[in-house]
């Protein structure tokens, strides 16, 4: 299959909408990461997403809408709180899980009775949904297990020959996938952290952060958010998160590093002598924006092992930590505890 890389003009978006209407898959930009979209109602189209990514069938897809009025046809029940959160955070990087309507096939929801719904803010994503006149089921546009793509070029690297069309809408601004939440006891539970932070949600309702966000599930335990159970977002190098001050980090890396090892830092001032590095930002928003591209760059450089400075667990930093923890396969060295 030939993969066409298109700009995000109205003409290109119409072409991509036609692709989606005809039961095929198109990649498109969103403010979180690039998505791989198909008609959420069409079982055979949705199967093509799973095939292109090599995604496990029990990992549900998020359904994207371009207007709150589309919620009704996708869900069997919308809690009052969902409308309140939608008013505040939609369009934007928030996915809400609700009981699904019968019109959503079980392939889309990974066999679950619920469906995750998001109204993205990226103008090209919104226009694509409007033009296709359909809710678009879309996971991140990477091969399963790899870091999510935040540029069309990275989508092309993973999807060339696997899908007919990629829309280029520039760099994704947020850089990590949406916040995923479900409703419980009048409040919400965060199953996956993202650009809408626990602090932002707490201004509206009671918020619980699911323990699976920051720790590994016990073998055999059921994941409330199926994507959290897979090793994910990983570059080819092994990744080790190192928690501690810049001084302790440098001391530890100097002692442990071998040839081919790299550092993943917040700032150039933290460089460890003799060890190559990539910086992924000094504040949490910047780290989220840069993280996946930094992980892909480490592959290009041929890094063998990566010592990643541990982000703060506050605000969007929680999302950064959640992703990097999975990229590291839960390998964390805590220098504060060891001291």
- The position carrying tokens 């460890």 is 272
Mark 203-232 with x for binding to ligand AMP (rule: CB under 6 A) and - for no binding: ----------------------xxxx----
With CA atoms as reference, report the closest residue to 195 among 290, 316, 318.
Answer: 316
Does 62 contact ligand AMP by CB under 6 A? yes
With CA atoms as reference, report the closest residue to 297 among 237, 230, 211.
Answer: 237
At its nearest, how many Å lie between Mg ion and the CB of residue 196? 17
Q: If you count DSSP H runs as helices and E runs as strands, how many of each does the chain have, helices first?
A: 10, 16
Does 125 contact ligand AMP by CB under 6 A? no
> Out of 60, 92, 93, 195, which residue is the one contacting ligand AMP (CB under 6 A)?
60
Question: Which pair of tokens denotes residue 212?
Answer: 């699976």
Return the H-helix or E-strand segment holding 233. none
Out of Mg ion, ligand AMP, none, what residue 112 binds, judged by CB under 5 to 8 A for its kind, is: ligand AMP
With CA atoms as reference, report the closest residue to 190 among 200, 179, 199, 205.
Answer: 179
In the bound state with ligand AMP, the residue whose beta carbon lies nearer, of 61 and 253, is: 61
In the bound state with ligand AMP, the residue whose beta carbon lies nearer, of 108 and 287, is: 108
Is the distance from CB of 141 to CB of 155 less than 8 angstroms? yes
Out of Mg ion, ligand AMP, none, what residue 93 binds, judged by CB under 5 to 8 A for its kind, is: none
At its nearest, how many Å lie between ligand AMP and the CB of residue 148? 7
State the Cα–Cα distance between residues 29 and 8, nearest whole angstrom.
9
> Out of 29, 92, 139, 281, which residue is the one contacting ligand AMP (CB under 6 A)?
139
Is the distance from CB of 162 to CB of 3 less than 8 angstroms? yes
> Out of 24, 31, 158, 177, which residue is the one contacting ligand AMP (CB under 6 A)?
177
In the complex, the residues that contact Mg ion under the rule CB under 5 A are: 139-140
> Out of 97, 166, 167, 306, which residue is the one contacting ligand AMP (CB under 6 A)?
97
In the bound state with ligand AMP, the residue whose beta carbon lies nearer, of 180 and 316, is: 180
In the bound state with ligand AMP, the residue whose beta carbon lies nearer, of 125 and 191, is: 191
Beta bridge partners of 64: 118, 136
State the Cα–Cα distance between residues 41 and 84, nearest whole angstrom.
26
State the Cα–Cα distance between residues 207 and 185, nearest whole angstrom.
10
Out of Mg ion, ligand AMP, none, what residue 191 binds, judged by CB under 5 to 8 A for its kind, is: ligand AMP
Query: How long, in residues, is the chain?
Result: 339
In the bound state with Mg ion, the residue whose beta carbon lies nearer, of 139 and 311, is: 139
């Amino acid at each position: 299959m030939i993969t066409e890389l298109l700009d995000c003009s109205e003409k290109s978006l119409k072409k991509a909408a036609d692709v989606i209407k005809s039961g095929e898959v198109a990649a498109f930009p969103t403010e979180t990461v690039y998505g791989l979209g198909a008609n959420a109602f069409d079982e055979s189209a949705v199967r093509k997403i799973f095939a292109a990514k090599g995604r496990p069938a029990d990992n549900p897809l998020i359904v994207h809408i371009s207007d709150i009025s589309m919620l009704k046809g996708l869900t069997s029940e919308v809690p009052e709180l969902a409308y309140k959160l939608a008013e505040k955070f939609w369009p934007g990087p928030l996915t809400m899980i609700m009981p699904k309507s019968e019109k959503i096939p079980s392939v889309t929801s990974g066999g679950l009775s619920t469906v995750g719904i998001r109204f993205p803010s990226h103008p090209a994503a919104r226009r694509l949904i409007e033009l296709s006149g359909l809710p678009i089921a879309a996971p991140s546009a990477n091969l399963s297990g790899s870091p999510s793509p935040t540029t069309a070029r990275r989508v092309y690297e993973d999807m060339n020959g696997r899908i007919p069309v990629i829309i280029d809408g520039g760099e994704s601004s947020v850089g990590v996938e949406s916040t995923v939440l479900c409703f419980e006891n009048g409040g919400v539970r965060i199953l996956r952290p993202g650009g809408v932070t626990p602090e932002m949600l707490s201004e509206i309702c009671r918020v619980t952060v699911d323990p699976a966000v920051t720790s590994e599930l016990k073998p055999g335990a059921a994941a409330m958010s199926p994507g959290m159970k897979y090793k994910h977002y990983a570059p080819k190098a092994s990744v080790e998160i190192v928690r501690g001050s810049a001084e302790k980090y440098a001391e530890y890396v100097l002692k442990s590093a071998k040839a081919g090892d790299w550092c993943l830092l917040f700032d150039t001032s933290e460089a460890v002598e003799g060890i190559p590095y990539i910086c992924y930002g000094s504040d949490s928003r910047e780290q989220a924006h840069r993280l996946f591209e930094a992980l892909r760059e480490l592959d290009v450089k041929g890094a063998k092992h990566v010592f990643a400075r541990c982000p703060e667990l506050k605000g969007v930093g929680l999302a950064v930590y959640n992703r990097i923890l999975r990229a590291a396969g839960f390998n964390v060295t805590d220098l504060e505890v060891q001291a």
